[in-house]
């Protein structure tokens, strides 16, 4: 998990929405926040900061302010909650996943009696 803070040269909400859409198209992003007063974009997730900046530099002047690890306290709390789960409940969750499998649709095949027949005859 990385936290990347980028300074952008944005002027209005339309550019803000466009920047958020561009960054959200990258994979591995957990959260995106934009501070319009300071013109800072904060991205948290398993991402490469170079990819974020290269996408944004196509449209705006971009500077990387900070790159560092995100807070791990939230992750530790989630791990404690997962450990408290009963093993039987975990198996029940897996069984629900197996039952939700949708089989593929059947394919149909239509054969014409004489595909080379003449329309005039």
* 84 lies in some domain: no
Residue 110: inside a domain: no
- pLDDT, tens digit (0-9, with 9 covering 90-100), for 24-61: 999 999 999 999 999 999 999 999 999 999 999 999 99
100 assigned to some structural domain: no
Q: Is residue 50 assigned to a domain? A: yes
**34 Cβ contact partners less than 8 Å away, ≥ 6 residues apart:** 16, 19, 20, 40, 41, 42
Whole-angstrom distance, CA of residue 30 vs CA of residue 47: 9
Helix, strand and coil content of the chain, in percent to the nearest 5, comes to 35, 25, 40
Identify the CATH number of the domain in which residue 26 sits: 3.30.70.100
Give the C-alpha separation, 43 to 67, whole Å: 10
How confident is the model at residue 82, as a pLDDT?
A: 57
How many CA atoms within 13 Å lie on the side-chain side of 85?
12
- Two structure tokens written together for 67: 């790159």
Half-sphere exposure of 67 (CA within 13 A, CB side): 10
Which tokens go with 94? 């897996």
Instruction: Quote the CA–CA distance of 97 and 30 in Å, as a whole number.
Output: 24
Residue 64 lies in a domain: yes
- Tens digits of per-residue pLDDT, 50-96? 999 999 999 999 999 999 998 865 555 555 555 666 777 777 776 66
Structural domain harbouring 18: 2-69
Q: Is residue 15 part of a domain?
A: yes
């Amino acid at each position: 998990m990385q936290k990347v803070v980028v300074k952008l040269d944005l002027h209005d909400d339309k550019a803000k929405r466009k920047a958020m859409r561009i960054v959200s198209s990258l994979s591995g992003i957990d959260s995106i926040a934009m501070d319009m007063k300071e013109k800072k974009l904060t991205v948290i997730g398993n991402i490469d900061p170079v990819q974020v900046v290269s996408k944004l530099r196509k449209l705006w002047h971009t500077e990387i302010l900070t790159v560092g690890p995100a807070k791990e306290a939230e992750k530790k709390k989630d791990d404690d909650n997962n450990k408290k789960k009963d093993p039987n409940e975990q198996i029940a969750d897996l069984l629900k996943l197996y039952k939700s499998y949708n089989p593929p649709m059947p394919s149909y095949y239509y054969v014409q009696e004489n595909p080379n027949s003449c329309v005039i005859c």
